[in-house]
């Protein structure tokens, strides 16, 4: 119940902030694209987690209720699913302008608040720590032993990204690139933070979620570079 409350609060606050801030690039996001993003994110969160549930790649913590009546969810899968759904919807309605700026500010706020639900629930646990480890001082006592506060660190990451994106939006910097840059940054961050989580690593020492992080971060980086290059390229009517 606590987790659901924080997720709901995150969605509400993120949506309000995004609506107040506007698209950031002067191009409104079509309602069809927004609906596709929401549906795609929900489906992706469940669908990309399904292999982890089936094959035991998800975290297993004995002292935390699983709450998986509907199956587990993964933030990485939600972002990938939402992104793919947006691209599909844009192609379907013939919308060619970038739409990422309409999601860029509200999304990290939503995820940061939602991660606090993980903090207070105890799910998505960090690795075990020695009692004398400095990180043990900020490890919430939700388990039978001290653990690295992976979800708390991730919450701080998302809120920090929201602050950076807010500044960039106010200054008009990175129009059309802000969401892609956030995806690339989160993919890199999540890949690293996974080494500090208590999760199976069946892929040569890597977890399933690190593979998803590589997919999200790599796609975000490539898309950022491609779009930035296209933006700098002069139009045919302009002198080279």
Given a cut of 60, whether residue 130 has pLDDT beyond it is: yes
Give this prediction's pTM. 0.89
pLDDT tens-place string over residues 78-126 = 999 999 999 999 999 998 888 888 888 899 999 999 998 888 887 888 8
User: What would you measure as the largest C-alpha separation in the chain, in angstroms?
Assistant: 67
Q: How confident is the model at residue 132 (pLDDT cuts 50, 70, 90)?
A: confident
- Confidence at residue 240, expressed as pLDDT on a 0 to 100 scale: 38
Mean pLDDT, residues 170-179 taken together: 89
At 189, list the tokens.
């961050």
- Confidence at residue 69, expressed as pLDDT on a 0 to 100 scale: 45
For residues 46 and 53, what is the distance between their CA atoms, to the nearest angstrom? 10
- Cα four-point dihedral sign 126, 11, 34, 183: negative
Given a cut of 50, whether residue 150 has pLDDT beyond it is: yes
Domain boundaries, the chain: 2-230
CB 6 within 8 A of CB 120: yes
At 141, list the tokens.
């006592």
CB 176 within 8 A of CB 98: yes
3-state DSSP assignment of residue 57: coil
Given a cut of 80, whether residue 20 has pLDDT beyond it is: no
Q: Who has greater pLDDT, 152 or 20?
A: 152
Chain centre to alpha carbon of residue 76:
6
For residues 34 and 102, what is the distance between their CA atoms, to the nearest angstrom? 9
For residues 163 and 213, what is the distance between their CA atoms, to the nearest angstrom? 22
- Confidence at residue 26, expressed as pLDDT on a 0 to 100 scale: 57
Q: How confident is the model at residue 239 (pLDDT cuts 50, 70, 90)?
A: very low
């Amino acid at each position: 119940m606590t987790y659901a409350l924080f997720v709901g609060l995150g969605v509400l606050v993120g949506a309000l902030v995004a609506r107040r801030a506007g698209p950031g690039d002067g191009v409104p996001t079509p309602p069809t694209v927004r609906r596709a993003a929401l549906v795609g994110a929900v489906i992706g969160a469940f669908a990309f987690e399904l292999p982890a549930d089936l094959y035991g790649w998800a975290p297993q913590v004995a002292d935390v209720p699983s709450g998986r009546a509907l199956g587990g969810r993964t933030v990485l899968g939600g972002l990938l699913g939402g992104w793919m759904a947006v691209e599909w919807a844009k192609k379907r309605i013939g919308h060619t302008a970038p739409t990422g700026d309409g999601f860029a500010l509200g999304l990290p706020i939503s995820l940061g608040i939602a991660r606090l639900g993980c903090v207070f629930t105890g799910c998505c646990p960090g690795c075990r720590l020695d009692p004398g480890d400095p990180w043990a001082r900020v490890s919430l006592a939700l388990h039978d032993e001290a653990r690295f506060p992976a979800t708390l660190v991730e919450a701080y990451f998302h809120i920090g990204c929201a602050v950076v994106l807010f500044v960039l939006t106010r200054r008009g910097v990175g129009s059309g690139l802000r969401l892609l840059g956030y995806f690339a940054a989160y993919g890199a961050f999540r890949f690293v933070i996974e080494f500090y989580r208590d999760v199976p690593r069946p892929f040569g020492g890597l977890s399933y979620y690190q593979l998803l992080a590589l997919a999200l971060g790599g796609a975000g980086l490539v898309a950022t570079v491609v779009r930035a290059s296209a933006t700098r390229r002069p139009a045919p009517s302009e002198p080279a």
